Structure 1
Amino acid sequence: MDRKEQPLVSIVIPAYNNENTIIATLESIRNQSYKNIEIIIIDDNSKDKTLQLVTEQQKKDNRIKIYHNSTNLGMIGNWNKCIQMSNGEFVKLVCADDLLDKNEIEKETGVMILNPSVNLVESDTRLIDINGKKTGSFKRYHKSGLVKGKKIARTSIIWNNFFGAPVNNLIRKSVLDKTGYFDEQFTYILDFDMWMKIACTGDVYIIHELLNSFRIRNDSNTGNLIGKDRETYVAEHQRLVDKYAGELQLNRFEYAFSIWFRKFRNAAIGIYLRVFAK
């Protein structure tokens, strides 16, 4: 398919003090085999050289669009602004330390084009440390291909977030007009909530291939949340369960088990972070 015939894909990058990683992230995006992309970077008033570095990269690639917040919006404010500024038929949010494999956008977009009922495409994720060394992997829901979104949502909220991080999700932009953007009542698990509400609107497609890399750091949002602020996470998880318990028809046991199991998983992940994250 010629680039002019390809649907536009918006790859949006919320950035804040990412001078050490954002160039590698940008290179992995610029080198995609799928060419009809726009790369939107919104710098949230960084105090380091992030804005300077991405401005230099813009000279090399006219697909890069840069916006600078004169005041810091915080994570949820900047993530929502990224979505708002996107123009593509499909959207992928990539944090400024994550990496995409060369053919990720091509494979995920191909699924969207062939399956109009699919609102979310997901692929498996490689876990890496600050130096890019693989420390593990995270796989999506166990089935491959087309799956009813509510089925994954129900399993995820009871057992484990099978949706994963933003980097492994491609969103159909039109569905966001129905669901809205990231919910401001969540400080940490705003992305989990986003995938839940999108999944409840239609089908999800699972690609069981490692197509991206998620960087695990002790000072990241994930590290702070699970490693140091577990009580806040559990409180937010309970809020999430309350939000979807009716729609997903959770019984009392499933409701209670979901919250207990989240506490257990947080403890296990905290151990993982102490061993592998730097």
Structure 2
Amino acid sequence: MIDNEEGAVADPLVSICIPAYNSASFIEKTLNSISSQSYRNLEILVGDNCSTDSTGEIIERLRQSDSRIVHVRHQSNLGYVGNLNRLLELSRGEYVAFYHSDDVYEPSIVQREVQVLTTNPEVMGVFAKAKNFNHDSDVGRPLKQRFLESPLLKKGEGYVWGGLSSFLPLLLEHGNVFVCPSFMARRRSFDRTGLWCDSYQGVEDVNLWLKFLRHELPLAIITDCLINYRIHDASGSASLSSRAVGFLKEMQFKLLDDFLRDHAPALPARQLRRYQKRKSKEYLKIARSYQDANQYGRYLEYVQRSRDAYAFPFYTKRMLMQRFPQLYFKLTRSP
């Protein structure tokens, strides 16, 4: 059920899609930051995924003062990806943005992203840099994102951009280099990539970015911080991370491994080594977490996976013996 069809902007240039579920604590600040955008020609579609708190009431109250807000009430919980796809289907803009219901957006983010897409016809999707903040402070801490200085990226006015050859090495070495809830794309891009997909749970966003790059749809990142990314226990990534130690990292590595096997062009050996090196480091971090939790079976498994991931492991035998002496003797003793 959709409320406020009559009051919505006719033929909007930009559709802002905001999936929401039990977002009562944060969604008012989010929607106020969207309503206050300097770019006015937009519609704001909020997909309420059967919230059990006051999310729906807050959306209803705010749409009374901003006719561009469209309250999309799902009759059943569609899940995160289903919510995104339903909002995309309902949207009418030439450009479609996917923002989150717990973040706060700078007044110029929509205008800046539209500007990149209108001035560079090669770019199919655009992101912005972010500041992280939590409920204890409204002051964000900028993400470093030093990779934005990479010579692999092309330089635009206030942004960097590129295709598969530019971003794949960065994704392999650094992980997800894009801030998901700042994403805006040309509608026609989805004719090539298809809809959002939940084949790789927790990294649905990286899966979509790889589809853009695989289909030769270049992406851009604005080099100014235009989104305040909220860190809290109820966020989607926090909830997924709590399922199992290293769950999100595992899913991201599976996605990247599958992509390298099925779609990626031949890469220089040094880029693949950097990827394996990152995997080795992350597996060691997971191993330490299992050690702290006294789960020694899993701890041993991930230390061995770390050593297997990289041909020149971070922990040589000597270093391993010094840092994890009991583990060293278990791994090296004769059967």
Q: Shorter-chain TM-score category?
A: 0.7 to 0.9
Report the counterpart of residue 238 of structure 1 in structure 2: 253
Query: Aligned-pair distance for 1:232?
Result: 2.4
Q: Does 1:106 align with 2:111?
A: yes
Runs of 4+ in structure 1 off by over 4 angstroms are: 264-268
Residue type of the alignment partner of 1:209: D
Q: Does 1:260 align with 2:275?
A: no
Match of 2:208 among 191, 194, 202: 194
Does structure 1 retain, via aligned residues, the 8 Å contact 2:99–2:183?
no
Residue type of the alignment partner of 2:163: G
Q: Which has the larger radius of gyration?
A: 2
- Once the two structures are superposed, residues 20-68 of structure 1 have per-residue CA deviations (whole angstroms, 9 ceiling, x without a partner) of 1111100000000000010001100000111111011111111111111
Between Structure 1 and Structure 2, how many residues are aligned?
264
Q: Closer, same or farther in 2 for the Cα pair 1:126/1:133, shift >3 Å?
A: same
Residue type of the alignment partner of 2:264: E
Report the counterpart of residue 68 of structure 1 in structure 2: 73
Match of 1:217 among 228, 232, 242: 232
Q: CA RMSD in A?
A: 2.6
Name the CA distance, whole Å, in 1 between partners of 2:76 and 2:188.
29
Match of 1:160 among 164, 168, 175: 175
Residue type of the alignment partner of 2:248: Y
Query: Aligned-pair distance for 1:228?
Result: 5.3
Structure 2: 5+ residue stretches without partners: 1-8, 150-154, 289-335
Query: Aligned-pair distance for 1:173?
Result: 1.5
Query: Aligned-pair distance for 1:262?
Result: 4.3
Q: Closer, same or farther in 2 for the Cα pair 1:114/1:82, shift >3 Å?
A: same
| Range that drifts further, 256-265 or 56-65 | 256-265
Does structure 1 retain, via aligned residues, the 8 Å contact 2:202–2:248?
yes
Name the CA distance, whole Å, in 1 between partners of 2:283 and 2:106.
33
- What is the SS of the residue equivalent to 1:134? coil
Report the counterpart of residue 8 of structure 1 in structure 2: 13
Q: Does 1:128 align with 2:144?
A: no
State TM-score, norm by structure 2.
0.72
Name the CA distance, whole Å, in 2 between partners of 1:58 and 1:114.
32
Does structure 2 retain, via aligned residues, the 8 Å contact 1:125–1:139?
no
Query: Aligned-pair distance for 1:120?
Result: 1.6
Q: Closer, same or farther in 2 for the Cα pair 1:128/1:10, shift >3 Å?
A: same
- What is the SS of the residue equivalent to 1:24? helix
Report the counterpart of residue 84 of structure 1 in structure 2: 89
- Once the two structures are superposed, residues 195-254 of structure 1 have per-residue CA deviations (whole angstroms, 9 ceiling, x without a partner) of 222233232222211111110012322223345533322331232113321424355645
Report the counterpart of residue 190 of structure 2 in structure 1: 176
Higher relative contact order (CA closer than 8 Å, sequence separation 6+): 1
- Once the two structures are superposed, residues 71-114 of structure 1 have per-residue CA deviations (whole angstroms, 9 ceiling, x without a partner) of 11111211222222221111111111011100111111011001
Does structure 2 retain, via aligned residues, the 8 Å contact 1:120–1:199?
no
Residue type of the alignment partner of 1:164: V
Name the CA distance, whole Å, in 2 between partners of 1:124 and 1:267.
31
State TM-score, norm by structure 1.
0.85
Does structure 1 retain, via aligned residues, the 8 Å contact 2:129–2:223?
yes
Match of 1:205 among 220, 238, 257: 220
Q: Closer, same or farther in 2 for the Cα pair 1:163/1:262, shift >3 Å?
A: farther
Q: Identity over the aligned pairs, expressed in percent?
A: 27
Does structure 2 retain, via aligned residues, the 8 Å contact 1:76–1:182?
yes
Does structure 1 retain, via aligned residues, the 8 Å contact 2:12–2:43?
no
Structure 1: 5+ residue stretches without partners: 269-278
Name the CA distance, whole Å, in 2 between partners of 1:230 and 1:242.
20
Residue type of the alignment partner of 1:247: A
Does structure 2 retain, via aligned residues, the 8 Å contact 1:17–1:47?
yes
- Once the two structures are superposed, residues 126-184 of structure 1 have per-residue CA deviations (whole angstroms, 9 ceiling, x without a partner) of 1010245235222554145343221113311332211122x222212211111012122
